[in-house]
Chain A
Amino acid sequence: MNDFLLTVLRNERVADGIYEMTLSRPEGVQPKGAQFLHIELKDGGRILRRPFCVCDCEGEEITVCYALVGAGTRELASYKPGEKLKVLLPLGNGWDADAFERPVLLGGGMGSAVLPLVARLAKKARPTAYLGFADKGKAVLTERMSALCPTVVCTDNGSLGRKGYVTEILARDVREGKVRPDAIFCCGPEIIYKLLAKEPAFADIPVFVSLEKRMGCGVGACLVCTCGVRTKEGEKNLRVCADGSVFDLREVIL
């Protein structure tokens, strides 16, 4: 982990309100799957860095995928190739697909941005990805994921891939034996975690979730990004940045 000055190589709109930014990769840095980076904005009035998962990392490039949600991400979208950014990375503990044999990588909307690097770094494991989007206009990373592992794309309205909510489609496939995951790794909006937690088809499968919270330092010092987790010593507020960002779904207090 260190603070690097990285060059913006590309920064393009890839879907409705969604951008992909490619940054120069610092020498010798190999982020693990589901690790994140912390970008300093150039507008000094926005004093907090913005955390994003490392979407992908290959060759000399690091990819970040982000949705426009506020002034900070709109500023990010204005950066041109050649501009330099201060970026702290890699942060968080990441998640290793190779700890399992047949993990399902489940992405809900922008949460799909965590999955490419996780799939890319799977050497022994044979992951299958399920990506769910509201509409085809919001679908991202489907080609990138399909090139890395078998990928099922779903949209709520059926405008792309299978029609339905991604957790329900996965639950059906598990019940029908089409996939037999020995773990589920998921990133998405909180509603998806709640659905996963109560779905009987997943009751015997370990589920890991990559959490997102409003963040401060990104390295574990300031304690602003905590989430409630059931630990052996009782319920604790753990730091998403330093203790996570991946947690066992059954231990997270949603």
Chain B
Amino acid sequence: MNTSVTIAGVTFKNPVITASGTFGFGREYAEFYPLSALGGVCTKGLTVEERQGNPSPRVAETPSGMLNSVGLQNPGVDHYLEHYDKWLSEQGTVVIANIAGHKLEDYEEMARRISGSRADMVELNISCPNVRSGGMAFGVQPESVRKVTETVKRACSKPVITKLTPNVSCIADNAKAAEDGGADAISVINTLTGMAVDYKTRRPILANNTGGLSGPCVKPVALRMVWECYNAVKIPVIGLGGITSWTDVLEFMICGARAVQVGTATLSDPYAAFTIAKDLEKYAQETDADLNALVGTLQLN
């Protein structure tokens, strides 16, 4: 049996990675379980300067899901490097630094700064729907996906994962654009832009009006997009969107995901990623399976 997967030369002991923005920098959850049980940890999105994010309310529950509009609140890359970089690197799990920015130069600067960190990989956040400039603005047009990926690749010594937004007409085109830009992998999908409305006040519940939809309700969209991307590119696909169980992970892998990220499930259950990783290991043991053999084995009807 084998649960380990390799992406761009980086080996994860299992395919379960925590999704950016749902796991902080790992410290909160290290109080619940050893992070070494996870394949990897993806950090909260980092920017050159500290960001205070959007006004609250920033969250609204929706059927089998939630909307968030945090707006990339983070302490800035310097604070991360000083307070979390070393600690995270000592947790016995792959560390992926998620980076974001307003403009192309920000991404370039972030790529340079993270190059000097202990992170194993970089995830390029060009798909955050909650910031006015940057974020998703970079992720919609294929040409800009290519350009920002290329810029980061040039400035960064670490393997680069480009995280794609689902808020596009053809995600395969954007996957190809990331590959053309030199991405070592893509992660699919970020949140779907949505709105929750209070009929009494006739106002959106989120202070930012719109937010990113996540949770089990987005899983069918995510599976479809992972499959489309898997068929469009040669680089590995990391699947995410509504994963709450080990069987969800198998579904994503069958659709072409080499690894997965667990996000919103952690908000419901602090042990979610840990439990999923353990359950997957149990499944692999009991069936003597190599999880890699599942990747992309979907048979269409």
Contact = CB atoms under 8 A, between A and B. Distances in A.
Interface of A: 1-3, 40, 44-49, 72, 86, 88, 213-217, 219-228, 235-237, 242
Contact of A47 (B21, B23, B70, B216): B216
B66 A48 contact: yes
B296 interface: no
Interface of B: 21-24, 28-29, 31-32, 44, 52-53, 55-61, 63-66, 68, 70, 73, 215-216, 264, 266-271
B246 to A, nearest CB: 16
A37 to B, nearest CB: 13
A242 to B, nearest CB: 7
A211 to B, nearest CB: 10
Nearest to A2: B32
Contacts of B68: 216, 222, 224
Contacts of A86: 269
Contact of A237 (B59, B73, B216): B73
Nearest to A227: B56
Interface of A is mostly: loop
A214 B268 contact: no
9 contacts: A3-B32, A3-B271, A214-B60, A220-B24, A221-B22, A221-B266, A223-B73, A228-B55, A237-B53
A215 B57 CA distance: 9
B58 A223 contact: yes
A47 B267 contact: yes
B59 A47 contact: no
Contacts of B58: 214, 223-226
B269 A40 contact: yes
Contacts of B24: 220-223
Contact of A88 (B21, B52, B53, B270): B270
Given A1-B31, A3-B269, A222-B70, A44 B64 contact: yes
B73 A222 contact: no
Nearest to B18: A221
Contacts of A48: 59, 61, 66, 267-268
A213 B56 CA distance: 8
B98 to A, nearest CB: 14
B208 to A, nearest CB: 11
A237 B55 CA distance: 8
A5 to B, nearest CB: 12
